[in-house]
């Protein structure tokens, strides 16, 4: 049986015949395991129905009846920016860099253009529209990722819904009104485009994502390393268009404010415990701007820049322009996601909903290669899942500002700060595991095994 393989960066196609032969003993084992697998799928379906019912109650019924329990404080900044622009003011009128977390609208002018229509709605209507929009973006994005990364025989939709609703960093966005689910949808479709060798589509979507939030600009390194020149041009061109449209929408004065005030504030060294970028971890080691803003020392700033360059370089180093299987292309994209999160000036807990992409990519690798072949990568992904899905939510729910201040007055303050970097460390572990996996020579995995066919592929 012959299958077609795609060429690397040039967009051309080469034929890579793959000969497969059926392994009867594997088919027999698959039939023997089928009752257990059916029970697992049933349990997964029941869990999906249960979590969907909870989400329906929490994010649809309660908001409609006026009993939504989320603080939605981040959305207040978006709505405030929209109403300020509608009144002839600046989107950044309420921005302040005085607290360690900054306040007000902190996104590029193109993002201000996108939230501008919210000013046409009442507060309640705008809240409902935004909540349902972000929830829909997250679910749609997770389904795209799961259907791209996992075999057809897997319960891909159920897993996607569980990831979008039950993964704690994703759920955090719905309660607080963050814009991250919108970015996630763009990244999810970019991931599909990247794996399917649609370089122009990937470039356009990544350019849009970078126009809303600057962090995805690091994907330029990945596109260049893959020698996707048309994709690179598409991303740069789209980014320029978002810059022009955003500047025209908010005005030159507001655009200057973003460049001269907002952007420097976002990139300063901030050691606040919820900042899980590499820069945040380094700042906590140096006790830099943890509870209050302090002048940044040049050694800390240099260390932050070097760490960011190293992790971005790691993502670029792992990319290859030659032919690779779809699972490995997905792992390249997932590694770039981890680099994007680690290299930024700030990476709050809600930002890590984007980890859904690399986590599902690792699951795709395991499905294609087996647990033994992908053990180290799978263990790193499991560590991330435990830290962000269990440890971090428990810590966040148990911490209060008064409690944090009380700890700061004890000898255990500095060790406590280092423990707070555990989420960052787990993502760094996953980044290194993915990079090592991608640099390891393996046979092509783009075979019928991806669709759970009991076959062994032999490249001719």
Q: pLDDT digits over 214-235, tens only?
A: 999 999 999 999 999 999 999 9
Average pLDDT, the chain: 90
**Nearby residues of 447 by Cβ (< 8 Å), 6 or more positions away:** 3, 18, 20, 368, 455, 456, 457
Tens digit of pLDDT at every position of the chain (460 positions): 444 444 444 444 444 444 444 444 444 444 445 787 888 889 999 999 999 999 999 999 999 999 998 999 999 999 999 999 999 999 999 999 889 888 999 999 999 999 999 999 999 999 999 999 999 999 999 999 999 999 999 999 999 999 999 999 999 999 999 999 999 999 999 999 999 999 999 999 999 999 999 999 999 999 999 999 999 999 999 999 999 999 999 999 999 999 999 999 998 999 999 999 999 999 999 999 999 999 888 999 999 999 999 999 999 999 999 999 999 999 999 999 999 999 999 999 999 999 999 999 999 999 999 999 999 999 999 999 999 999 999 999 999 999 999 999 999 999 999 999 999 999 999 999 999 999 985 544 444 444 443 333 333 3
Helix residue spans in 196-325 (DSSP H):
199-212, 219-225, 229-250, 252-257, 263-267, 278-285, 298-318
pLDDT for 39: 86
Q: Tell me whether residue 25 is in a domain.
A: no
Q: Tell me whether residue 7 is in a domain.
A: no
Q: How far apart are CA 219 and CA 337, in angstroms?
A: 9
Q: How far apart are CA 276 and CA 291, in angstroms?
A: 15
Q: Tell me whether residue 454 is in a domain.
A: no
Q: How far apart are CA 364 and CA 366, in angstroms?
A: 5
Q: Tell me whether residue 379 is in a domain.
A: yes
Place of tokens 């952007």: 263
Contact 80, 105 (CB under 8 A): yes
pLDDT for 442: 53
pLDDT for 449: 41
Q: How far apart are CA 171 and CA 159, in angstroms?
A: 15
pLDDT for 454: 36
In the chain, how long is the greatest CA-to-CA distance? 72
Name which of 273, 214, 255 is nearest 422 in CA terms. 273
Helix residue spans in 57-179 (DSSP H):
62-64, 73-86, 109-115, 123-149, 156-166, 168-176
Contact 238, 386 (CB under 8 A): no
Q: How far apart are CA 224 and CA 222, in angstroms?
A: 5
Q: Tell me whether residue 459 is in a domain.
A: no
Domain range for residue 315? 69-446
Q: Tell me whether residue 55 is in a domain.
A: no
pLDDT for 441: 58
Task: Provide the token pair at 80.
Answer: 């405030």
Contact 337, 355 (CB under 8 A): yes
Structural domain count of the chain? 1
Q: Tell me whether residue 8 is in a domain.
A: no
């Amino acid at each position: 049986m012959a299958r077609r393989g795609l060429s690397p960066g040039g967009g051309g196609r080469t034929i890579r015949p793959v000969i497969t032969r059926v392994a009867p003993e594997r088919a027999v084992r698959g039939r023997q395991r089928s009752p257990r697998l059916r029970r697992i799928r049933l349990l997964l379906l029941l869990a999906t129905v249960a979590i969907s019912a909870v989400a329906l109650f929490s994010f649809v019924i309660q908001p409609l009846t006026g009993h939504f329990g989320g603080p939605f404080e981040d959305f207040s900044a978006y709505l405030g920016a929209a109403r300020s622009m509608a009144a002839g003011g600046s989107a950044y009128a309420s921005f302040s860099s005085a607290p360690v977390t900054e306040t007000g609208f902190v996104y590029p002018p193109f993002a201000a253009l996108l939230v501008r229509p919210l000013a046409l709605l009442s507060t309640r209507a705008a809240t409902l529209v935004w909540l349902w929009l972000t929830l829909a973006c997250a679910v749609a994005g997770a389904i795209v990722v799961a259907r791209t990364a996992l075999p057809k025989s897997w319960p891909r939709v159920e897993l996607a819904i569980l990831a979008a609703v039950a993964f704690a960093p994703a759920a955090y966005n719905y309660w607080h009104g963050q814009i991250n689910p919108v970015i996630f949808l763009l990244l999810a479709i970019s991931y599909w485009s990247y794996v399917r060798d649609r370089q122009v589509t990937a470039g356009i979507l990544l350019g849009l994502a970078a126009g809303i939030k600057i962090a995805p600009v690091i994907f330029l390194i990945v596109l260049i390393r893959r020698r996707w020149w048309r994709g690179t041009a598409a991303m740069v061109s789209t980014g320029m268009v978002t810059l022009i449209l955003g500047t025209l929408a908010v005005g030159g004065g507001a655009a200057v404010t973003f460049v001269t005030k907002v952007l420097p504030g976002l990139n300063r060294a901030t050691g606040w415990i919820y900042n899980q970028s590499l820069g945040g971890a380094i700042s906590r080691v140096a006790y830099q701007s943890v509870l209050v803003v302090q002048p940044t020392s040049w050694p800390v700033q240099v260390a932050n820049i070097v760490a960011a360059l190293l992790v971005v370089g790691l993502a670029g180093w792992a990319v290859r322009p030659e032919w690779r299987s779809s699972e490995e292309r997905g792992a390249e994209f997932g590694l770039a996601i981890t680099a994007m999160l680690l290299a930024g000036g700030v990476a709050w807990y809600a930002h890590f909903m984007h980890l859904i992409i690399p986590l599902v990519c690792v699951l795709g690798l395991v499905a294609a290669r087996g647990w033994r072949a992908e053990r180290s990568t799978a263990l790193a992904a499991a560590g991330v899942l435990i830290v962000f899905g269990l440890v971090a939510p428990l810590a966040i729910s148990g911490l209060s500002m008064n409690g944090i201040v009380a700890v700061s007055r004890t000898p255990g303050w500095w060790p406590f700060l280092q423990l707070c970097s555990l989420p960052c460390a787990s993502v760094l572990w996953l980044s290194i595991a993915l990079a090592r996996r991608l640099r390891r020579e393996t046979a092509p995995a783009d075979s019928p095994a991806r669709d759970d066919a009991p076959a062994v592929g032999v490249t001719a």
